[in-house]
């Protein structure tokens, strides 16, 4: 019996995959782009979403993510692009977590909204018990919107527990109505969401045809692979985490994309896992493999919730950089600091800067800058870190910049001198 030989897989070095990942995340020119409506939409589409988070030690997460790409910009100008009275460049929805996503992607997310309204089993018991609350909340938004959760009274007899399930009923109703696309985030006040009817937030939403289920799933796969350049099945599961696809569904989708040639399997040096890439990205991987130095040139800090870090095991695999968001770690167990920002410099993650904006003093403090033990070019690292710190201080409106300590400790004095330039 003759045996057909399976064609050998295209093989790429790990550094090429890491390099393309930075390019796709628009970090090849850190702080080097100009923020416009077009560039903002392009970033949201390239990454799949710009994550929102309420922590405000330095600045909100989405502002830090944008600063990492665009440098110093006017937050008021950004607000006019996200929350205007007319056409919005981005709108809020759930992609990896709560994110700003491109309005041009509305047909895809409209599919998720419609499915959420009919298939989200986790809501079934709550909806049966609280149908009246849901109708009342929607009617109040229609009559008086935009409204926040705080605009509704809390009529629960007992309070005391904390967490999502202790939300007042109106907050649950608002969340369900948002996820199912009946209302959308109109604006934010002190970072609190204010909701209005979907057709008043995005007037064209009623005319937008949602993607069918099969087309949406293929879109989701393409968007994820394009954002990462190349990915394993686990990467695909943990990058754009919403909506969740069961493992058999994802494998079936991948198999179909492989069969029709849209997706190809590749081999990555030093990694035994199965890797996949869009067929159209093979040329970009070849170019990355041919480069002697990374495409990313320059230094910036990354928000803990930056899309480059969404799947932190992937970050470790590609950049040999172990990162934990230590805001969730008890103080005594923190290694690098409460809000440590990874330092990206010339295509490598070289350390972490635990930063705090002392607003009353208008001072940005680098409480702890910890460089990786593998750091080789110390002078370049200090100069790049200081340049990024001065830019971040200007962005948040700080007139003072201080460095408390560094690891190794001998770098504290030279870093302070660099920051003072």
Using alpha carbons only, how large is the chain's radius of gyration in Å?
A: 23
The pTM is what?
0.93
Q: CA 65, CA 50: separation in Å to the nearest integer? A: 7
Predicted local distance difference test score (pLDDT) of residue 167: 55
Evaluate whether 155 touches 171 at the Cβ level (below 8 Å).
Answer: no
Q: Say how far residue 6 (Cα) sits from the centre of its chain.
A: 38
Answer positive or negative: Cα dihedral of 304, 305, 306, 308: positive
Predicted local distance difference test score (pLDDT) of residue 419: 97
Q: HEC states along 45-76? A: HHHCCEECCCCCCCCCHHHHHHHHHHCCCCHH
The total number of residues shown for the chain amounts to 421
Predicted local distance difference test score (pLDDT) of residue 158: 47
Q: What are phi and psi of 251, to 5 degrees?
A: -65, -40
Q: Which are the contacts of 403, defined by CB distance < 8 A and separation ≥ 6? A: 365, 366, 369, 412, 415, 416, 419
Half-sphere exposure of 256 (CA within 13 A, CB side): 12
Omega before residue 254 within 30° of 0, cis: no
Q: CA 320, CA 342: separation in Å to the nearest integer? A: 13
Residue among 354, 363, 329 at smallest CA distance from 406: 354
Q: CA 88, CA 202: separation in Å to the nearest integer? A: 8
Q: What angle do CA 327, 159, 92 make, to 5 degrees?
A: 50
Predicted local distance difference test score (pLDDT) of residue 131: 86
- Under DSSP, is residue 274 helix (H, G, I), strand (E, B) or coil? strand
Predicted local distance difference test score (pLDDT) of residue 126: 77
Predicted local distance difference test score (pLDDT) of residue 3: 45
- For 352-367, b/e burial (b = at least 16 CB within 10 A) is bbbbbbeeeeebbbbb
Q: CA 10, CA 89: separation in Å to the nearest integer? A: 38
CA distances from 45 to 18, 201, 224 (A): 19, 20, 10
Give the start-end residues of each E strand in 289-339.
Answer: 299-301
Q: CA 104, CA 41: separation in Å to the nearest integer? A: 8
Predicted local distance difference test score (pLDDT) of residue 121: 62
Residue among 348, 356, 366, 364 at smallest CA distance from 407: 366
pLDDT below 70 — which residues of the chain?
Answer: 1-7, 120-122, 155-167
Q: What angle do CA 81, 83, 84 make, to 5 degrees?
A: 75
Q: CA 230, CA 260: separation in Å to the nearest integer? A: 18
């Amino acid at each position: 019996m003759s045996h057909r030989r399976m064609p050998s897989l295209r093989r790429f070095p790990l550094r090429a995959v890491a390099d393309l990942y930075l390019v796709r995340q628009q970090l090849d020119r850190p702080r080097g782009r100009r923020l416009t409506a077009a560039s903002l939409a392009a970033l949201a589409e390239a990454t799949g979403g710009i994550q929102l988070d309420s922590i405000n030690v330095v600045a909100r997460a989405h502002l830090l993510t944008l600063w990492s790409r665009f440098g110093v910009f006017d937050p008021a100008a950004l607000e006019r692009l996200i929350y205007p009275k007319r056409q919005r460049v981005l709108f809020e929805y759930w992609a990896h977590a709560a994110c700003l996503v491109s309005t041009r992607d509305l047909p895809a997310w409209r599919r998720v909204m419609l499915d959420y309204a009919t298939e989200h089993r986790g809501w079934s018991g709550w909806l049966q018990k609280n149908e009246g609350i849901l109708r009342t909340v929607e009617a109040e938004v229609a009559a008086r919107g935009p409204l926040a959760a705080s605009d509704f009274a809390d009529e629960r007899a007992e309070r005391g527990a904390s967490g999502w399930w202790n939300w007042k009923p109106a907050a649950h109703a608002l969340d369900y109505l948002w996820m199912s696309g009946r209302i959308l985030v109109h604006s934010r006040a002190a970072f609190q969401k204010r909701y209005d009817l979907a057709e008043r937030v995005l007037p064209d939403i009623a005319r937008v045809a949602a993607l069918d289920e099969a087309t949406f799933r293929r879109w989701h796969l393409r968007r994820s692979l394009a954002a990462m350049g190349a990915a394993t099945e686990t990467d695909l599961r943990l990058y754009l985490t919403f909506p969740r696809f069961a493992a058999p569904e994802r494998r079936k989708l991948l198999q179909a994309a492989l069969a029709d040639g849209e997706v190809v399997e590749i081999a990555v040096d030093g990694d035994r896992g199965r890797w996949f890439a869009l067929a159209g990205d093979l040329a970009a991987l070849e170019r990355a493999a041919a480069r002697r130095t990374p495409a990313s040139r320059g230094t910036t800090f990354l928000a803990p919730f930056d899309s480059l870090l969404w799947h932190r095991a992937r970050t470790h695999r590609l950049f040999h950089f172990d990162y934990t968001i230590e805001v969730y770690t008890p103080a005594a167990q923190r290694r690098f600091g409460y809000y440590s920002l990874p330092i990206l410099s010339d295509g490598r993650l070289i350390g972490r800067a635990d930063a705090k904006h002392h607003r009353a003093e208008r001072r940005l403090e680098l409480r702890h800058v910890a460089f990786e033990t593998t750091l080789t070019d110390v002078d370049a690292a200090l100069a790049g870190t200081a340049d990024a710190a001065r830019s971040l201080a200007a962005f948040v409106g700080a007139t003072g910049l201080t460095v408390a300590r560094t690891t190794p400790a001998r770098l504290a004095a030279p870093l302070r001198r660099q920051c003072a330039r």
